Chains A and B, each alone.
Chain A
């Protein structure tokens, strides 16, 4: 149960011959312990850059990221944060095709967590992780190609949980999945948040997906926060024209 506070984050990328490009411009974001926040914006709006900053993979030009008591990118916290884990849109692509599910999870447990308690104990931990994400123990022997997209995404979530993070960043976790299984993954994320007190930052383009899981939403456009509020507020009464445009871009049945 650790809060994450990012304040005044600015990130620029230098482009050869064309000057600097501001990917993030004075973005602040607070993730209270156990909360779920949705980050909405189209490609190029800086969603992924912000996720990388929060993971400690990109050092911002200005601004601070505090995870609990410590501040990222300072001598007290120099390396990427283990408290923050990420899952990606392309779950199949995020898994090593030549590694079984067991190997993928065991690698995290032994290398990152540094557990050295024998193969039997390791197998128990892998089984426990798989159970948490709703997969049976025999999934451990499978390769990613033998699994469906939804199962691969569950393995990715299990792998993120293996690090025992306090904060989970999910970058478009369901947009590559069949609609019939999207709800199951979203429900899993919601349950994990409730059961483990995980904070969740859900990056998505679909405001309906954000609305189903998050109680707060942040709209990002060209590196700036243009609107914040509860998902219901944003849908019912979008203030910024960009939010309105995003709402219109999502195919709706109603």
Chain B
């Protein structure tokens, strides 16, 4: 087993993304899909990225591993992991990716090799000692035992039989557990989980999320969780960043943001989660309109066309400004309490 994790003495962030911009070549020049995005992940911190499809959540995660196709994508800004610059140091990337930080993707059946046994795929993910990454190599004779341990850590029954199985013999939930075991093979400090339960049967989603939660806690890992469902992050993450068309529109501690969402987009996402308390009332909420394609962003505030509170001020693009000690919001009219527009808020001291 790897040595127990010791949190670093300093409070320096594990992952630091600064002014990240990702553009793809379009018919009429570069199209930005992520626009000057900044966030940090501290050791042991669990960070959630929230937004609809097409908001740049996955691209941000992929950029950490320099995984977007470099011949089509242009990455700007900086990404630092444990002090190493990931965007312009290929040697650091080779040393860190899959070792110090590891991924779990959305569709486990597409991530696993269909013609390789589970055991062989797990062994492949183990450190060989040739990577110059400081992790102790797992010798050939010890790999079977290590693979068994990894499968046991993700709570899969009968690991010995599973090692000989092919991915098609496993259910989606089991496949995702195998992907988690592979991610753990390098004893990562940061787990990047990109919609880890979206492709799973809905009833196994909670199981896999709870497993991720307990693995992160047990190993003192940091977590970067991407999801479109705000209901999943409550209690599972510390910090929340809400993304809309490639920009952070709101960020802050999960509990505070969920209790009093300040950005109309966050409010819309929160209202869209079906709730047990509204059963019988027949209420169903959505966010009108759709996410604009990155090549056709509206001028001014990008959310204005879908926003119930827009006015003339929204013709100008808002900046991401602090609204209290820990929270930021990119809106001209942040909803500072219970969704009541500031203008209609009764003066202090009145109920």
- Chain A interface (Cβ within 8 Å of chain B)? 42-43, 89, 148-149, 172, 175-176, 178-184, 186-187, 190, 204-209, 211-212, 230-232, 235, 247, 249-254
Tell me if B's interface is mostly helix, strand, loop or mixed.
loop
Give the CA-CA distance A212 to B282 in the complex, in Å: 5
Task: Kindly state the separation between the CA atoms of A235 and B281 in the bound complex, as whole angstroms.
Answer: 13
Q: Residues of A contacting B209 with CB < 8 Å?
A: 251
Nearest 9 A-B pairs (CB), nearest first?
A211-B279, A208-B274, A42-B203, A183-B286, A183-B284, A251-B231, A180-B287, A232-B280, A179-B272
| B206 CB contacts on chain A under 8 angstroms | 249-251
Given the complex, which residues of A lie within 8 Å of B269, measured CB to CB?
A: 179-180
Q: Which residues of B contact A (CB under 8 A)?
A: 52-53, 198, 201-204, 206, 209, 228-232, 234, 258, 268-270, 272-280, 282-287, 290
Q: Which of A181, A190, A208 contacts B275 (CB 8 A)?
A: A208
Partner of A184, one of B277, B282, B286: B286
> Is A43 a contact partner of B203 (Cβ separation < 8 A)?
yes
**Among A42, A179, A190, A254, contact of B276 (Cβ-Cβ < 8 Å):** A254
Q: Residue on A with the closest CB to B234?
A: A253
Residue ID in chain B nearest A231 by CB atoms: B279
A212 CA to B279 CA, complexed, in Å = 6
B275 with A252: CB separation less than 8 A: yes
A231 to B84, CA, bound (A): 54
With both chains docked as a complex, state the minimum distance between the C-beta of A107 and any C-beta of chain B, in angstroms. 27
The answer to whether A212 touches B274, judged by C-beta atoms less than 8 angstroms apart, is yes
9 more contacts with CB within 8 A, not counting A212-B282, A252-B275, are A178-B228, A179-B230, A207-B276, A211-B274, A212-B284, A231-B280, A249-B203, A252-B276, A253-B273
Which of chain A's residues have a CB closer than 8 A to the CB of B204? 43
18 examples of A-B residue contacts, CB within 8 angstroms: A176-B198, A179-B229, A180-B272, A183-B272, A183-B286, A186-B284, A205-B203, A206-B274, A208-B274, A208-B278, A212-B278, A212-B283, A232-B280, A247-B276, A250-B206, A250-B276, A251-B232, A253-B275
Q: Return the chain A residue nearest B275 by Cβ.
A: A208
In whole Å, how far is B323's beta carbon from the nearest beta carbon of chain A? Answer: 21
Taking CB as reference atom, which chain B residue is nearest A187?
Answer: B284
**C-alpha gap A232/B270 in the complex (Å):** 22
Residue of B202, B268, B274 ringed by the most chain A CB atoms within 10 A: B274
CA of A5 to CA of B232, assembled, Å: 37
Q: Are A254 and B203 in contact (CB under 8 A)?
A: no
Bound form: Cα–Cα A89–B287 in Å: 21
Bound-complex Cα distance A144 to B203 (A): 27
Q: With A180-B272, A206-B274 as known contacts, state yes or no: A232 contacts B287, CB within 8 Å.
A: no
Chain B residues with Cβ under 8 A from A172's Cβ? 202
Find chain B residues with CB under 8 A from A204 CB.
Answer: 202
Shortest distance from the beta carbon of B231 to any chain A beta carbon, whole Å: 4
Q: Which residues of B contact A187 (CB under 8 A)?
A: 284, 286
* Complex: chain A residue closest to B172, CB-CB: A43
Query: What residues of A have a CB within 8 angstroms of the CB of B232 in the complex?
Result: 251
A253 and B231 in contact (CB under 8 A), knowing A178-B52, A232-B280?
Answer: yes
Partner of A180, one of B201, B202, B231, B268: B268
Nearest chain A CB to B274's CB is how many angstroms away? 4
> Does the CB pair A148–B53 fall under 8 Å?
yes
A80 to chain B, nearest CB (A): 25
B53 and A252 within 8 A (CB): no
Contact B290 A183 (CB under 8 A): no
| Chain B minimum-CB-distance residue to A214 | B279
In the complex the two chains form, is A181's CB within 8 Å of B280's CB?
Answer: no
Q: How far is the CB of B283 from chain A (nearest CB, A)?
A: 7
Scoring A183, A187, A254 by chain B CB atoms within 10 A of each residue's CB, the highest score goes to A183
- Bound: A252/B233 CA distance, A: 10
Is the CB–CB distance between B52 and A254 below 8 Å? no
The chain A residue sitting closest to B231, CB to CB, is A251
Distance A254 CA – B278 CA, assembled complex (angstroms): 11
Q: How long is the Cα–Cα vector from A249 to B209 in the complex, in angstroms? A: 11
Say whether A43 contacts B201, CB under 8 Å.
Answer: yes
CB distance from A111 to the nearest CB of B (A): 31
Given A180-B268, A212-B274, do A253 and B279 touch, yes or no (CB 8 Å)?
Answer: no
